Amino acid sequence: MKTIYGLVLLFCVFYSLGLAAAYQDVSVPGDSNGDRMISAEELKAAEKVSMDGRISHEELENIRLIHESYPRKINIFVYPEA
Report yes or no: 41 and 61 within 8 Å, Cβ to Cβ.
no
Report yes or no: 34 and 40 within 8 Å, Cβ to Cβ.
no
Report yes or no: 69 and 56 within 8 Å, Cβ to Cβ.
no
Q: Domain ranges in the chain?
A: 2-69
Mean pLDDT of 32-56: 90
pLDDT given for residue 33 in this prediction: 87
Please state the pTM of the whole predicted model.
Answer: 0.59
pLDDT given for residue 80 in this prediction: 74
